[in-house]
Amino acid sequence: REEQHALDMKKQAAARRADQNRELNKRATPEWEKLRARAEKLALARAEKKGVRVQEGQSAITALEDAARKKRHRLELIRRRREEERKIEESEIAADLAGADSTEEDEWLKAARLNGGDASE
Protein backbone atom coordinates (compact mmCIF):
# COMPACT_ATOMS: atom_id res chain seq x y z
CA ARG A 1 0.00 0.00 0.00
CA GLU A 2 2.78 2.49 0.92
CA GLU A 3 4.73 1.47 -2.18
CA GLN A 4 1.68 2.17 -4.34
CA HIS A 5 1.25 5.58 -2.69
CA ALA A 6 4.92 6.43 -3.30
CA LEU A 7 4.58 5.34 -6.93
CA ASP A 8 1.45 7.49 -7.36
CA MET A 9 3.26 10.51 -5.89
CA LYS A 10 6.17 10.02 -8.31
CA LYS A 11 3.73 9.83 -11.25
CA GLN A 12 2.00 13.03 -10.14
CA ALA A 13 5.33 14.82 -9.79
CA ALA A 14 6.39 13.63 -13.24
CA ALA A 15 3.09 14.82 -14.72
CA ARG A 16 3.54 18.26 -13.08
CA ARG A 17 7.08 18.54 -14.46
CA ALA A 18 5.84 17.57 -17.92
CA ASP A 19 3.13 20.26 -17.73
CA GLN A 20 5.68 22.86 -16.64
CA ASN A 21 8.07 21.86 -19.42
CA ARG A 22 5.26 22.08 -21.99
CA GLU A 23 4.42 25.58 -20.73
CA LEU A 24 8.08 26.65 -20.84
CA ASN A 25 8.47 25.26 -24.35
CA LYS A 26 5.34 27.08 -25.46
CA ARG A 27 6.83 30.34 -24.19
CA ALA A 28 10.03 29.74 -26.11
CA THR A 29 8.24 29.68 -29.47
CA PRO A 30 8.88 32.53 -31.92
CA GLU A 31 5.19 33.50 -31.80
CA TRP A 32 5.35 33.85 -28.02
CA GLU A 33 8.53 35.92 -28.21
CA LYS A 34 6.95 38.12 -30.86
CA LEU A 35 3.92 38.71 -28.61
CA ARG A 36 6.15 39.40 -25.60
CA ALA A 37 8.24 41.91 -27.58
CA ARG A 38 5.09 43.63 -28.88
CA ALA A 39 3.64 43.87 -25.35
CA GLU A 40 6.89 45.39 -24.10
CA LYS A 41 6.95 47.87 -27.01
CA LEU A 42 3.35 48.92 -26.29
CA ALA A 43 4.12 49.25 -22.59
CA LEU A 44 7.15 51.41 -23.40
CA ALA A 45 5.00 53.68 -25.58
CA ARG A 46 2.38 53.89 -22.80
CA ALA A 47 5.11 54.67 -20.26
CA GLU A 48 6.47 57.45 -22.47
CA LYS A 49 2.97 58.87 -22.92
CA LYS A 50 2.36 58.85 -19.16
CA GLY A 51 5.80 60.26 -18.46
CA VAL A 52 6.92 57.21 -16.49
CA ARG A 53 10.69 56.88 -16.37
CA VAL A 54 11.98 53.44 -17.31
CA GLN A 55 15.27 52.72 -15.59
CA GLU A 56 18.00 50.78 -17.34
CA GLY A 57 17.45 47.06 -16.94
CA GLN A 58 13.80 47.59 -16.00
CA SER A 59 10.99 46.62 -18.31
CA ALA A 60 8.38 49.19 -19.22
CA ILE A 61 5.71 46.88 -17.83
CA THR A 62 7.29 46.85 -14.36
CA ALA A 63 7.86 50.61 -14.59
CA LEU A 64 4.14 51.13 -15.26
CA GLU A 65 3.23 48.77 -12.41
CA ASP A 66 5.57 50.65 -10.05
CA ALA A 67 4.11 53.99 -11.12
CA ALA A 68 0.57 52.70 -10.55
CA ARG A 69 1.54 51.34 -7.11
CA LYS A 70 3.13 54.70 -6.17
CA LYS A 71 0.03 56.55 -7.37
CA ARG A 72 -2.26 54.30 -5.31
CA HIS A 73 -0.01 54.83 -2.28
CA ARG A 74 -0.02 58.61 -2.79
CA LEU A 75 -3.83 58.62 -3.12
CA GLU A 76 -4.15 56.52 0.04
CA LEU A 77 -1.95 59.01 1.95
CA ILE A 78 -4.07 61.90 0.69
CA ARG A 79 -7.26 60.07 1.69
CA ARG A 80 -5.87 59.39 5.19
CA ARG A 81 -4.76 63.02 5.61
CA ARG A 82 -8.20 64.29 4.58
CA GLU A 83 -9.86 61.81 6.95
CA GLU A 84 -7.65 63.01 9.82
CA GLU A 85 -8.37 66.65 8.96
CA ARG A 86 -12.11 65.90 8.89
CA LYS A 87 -11.93 64.21 12.31
CA ILE A 88 -9.96 67.13 13.77
CA GLU A 89 -12.45 69.59 12.30
CA GLU A 90 -15.39 67.59 13.70
CA SER A 91 -13.79 67.45 17.15
CA GLU A 92 -13.10 71.21 17.03
CA ILE A 93 -16.71 71.88 16.07
CA ALA A 94 -17.91 69.57 18.85
CA ALA A 95 -15.60 71.34 21.33
CA ASP A 96 -16.87 74.74 20.17
CA LEU A 97 -20.46 73.61 20.55
CA ALA A 98 -19.75 72.12 23.96
CA GLY A 99 -17.96 75.32 24.97
CA ALA A 100 -20.87 77.46 23.79
CA ASP A 101 -23.35 75.30 25.68
CA SER A 102 -21.33 75.33 28.87
CA THR A 103 -20.84 79.10 28.70
CA GLU A 104 -24.54 79.60 28.15
CA GLU A 105 -25.29 77.20 30.97
CA ASP A 106 -22.82 79.00 33.26
CA GLU A 107 -24.52 82.32 32.55
CA TRP A 108 -27.93 80.80 33.23
CA LEU A 109 -26.71 79.35 36.57
CA LYS A 110 -25.08 82.68 37.51
CA ALA A 111 -28.32 84.49 36.74
CA ALA A 112 -30.22 81.94 38.81
CA ARG A 113 -27.91 82.49 41.80
CA LEU A 114 -28.23 86.26 41.49
CA ASN A 115 -32.00 86.01 41.40
CA GLY A 116 -32.05 84.02 44.59
CA GLY A 117 -32.33 80.56 43.11
CA ASP A 118 -35.17 81.27 40.70
CA ALA A 119 -33.80 80.54 37.25
CA SER A 120 -37.04 81.14 35.43
CA GLU A 121 -36.55 84.93 35.30
Residues 6+ apart with CB under 8 A from 60: 40, 43, 44, 46, 47, 52, 54
What pLDDT is stored for residue 100 in this prediction?
A: 62
Whether 13 has a pLDDT exceeding 80, the answer reads: yes
What are the sequence ranges of the domains in the chain? 2-93
Mean pLDDT computed over every residue of the chain: 83
What pLDDT is stored for residue 101 in this prediction?
A: 59
What pLDDT is stored for residue 121 in this prediction?
A: 46
Burial 95-109 (b: 16+ CB within 10 A, else e): eeeeeeeeeeeeeee
Residues 6+ apart with CB under 8 A from 64: 43, 46, 47, 50, 52
**Alpha-carbon dihedral angle through residues 67, 69, 71, 73, given to the nearest 10 degrees:** -150
No. of helices (H) and no. of strands (E), the chain: 3, 0
* pLDDT tens digits for range 32-78: 778 888 988 999 898 888 888 888 777 888 888 889 999 999 999 99
